[in-house]
Amino acid sequence: MSYPKRHTISQKNISKKLRRRLQIYFFISIILFIVVCYEIIVHLVPFSFALIGIVVGTAIGFIAARMFHLSWNHDAQEIVSRLDLFGIGILILYVIFAIFRTKIIGHFVHGSSVGGISLSTANGVMIGRVLGTRGRIIKILREQKLLH
């Protein structure tokens, strides 16, 4: 018995709204990665600091990915997302972090590196949201026996 490829399943079994959101996060993460590389090369942001920003941001992104509750819609035969009460709490914390990100990072790093590290953290957040959501999608598809 042969199984369809993951890509075919994901297009068919993930709501259009959720797919679009993941595409936007992925596109933003690519743009931010390019900007972070520019900051490293032109503004001499230390690579190690940018890497730490991406790692910390990715961890925050994994948590922020929980903002939307993913579930299987039996009628539509697809994964759908909705914002639940826990997700609203995470959203509020995420917005607070986004607003004060530069000030928070400014406590640890000074000078011209703050902007670049702030951007690398934002890049990590986008990466973490994509990876965290992707992992939850794969888990649901496995539970539905659409992936093995």
User: 25 exposed, middle or buried (CB, 10 Å; 0-12, 13-18, 19+)?
Assistant: buried
pLDDT digits over 69-110, tens only? 999 999 999 999 988 888 888 888 888 888 888 888 888 887
Which has more confidence, 86 or 53? 53
pLDDT the model gives residue 8: 60
Distance CA 144, CA 59 (A): 27
6 has a pLDDT exceeding 80: no
CB 19 within 8 A of CB 88: no
Distance CA 133, CA 135 (A): 5
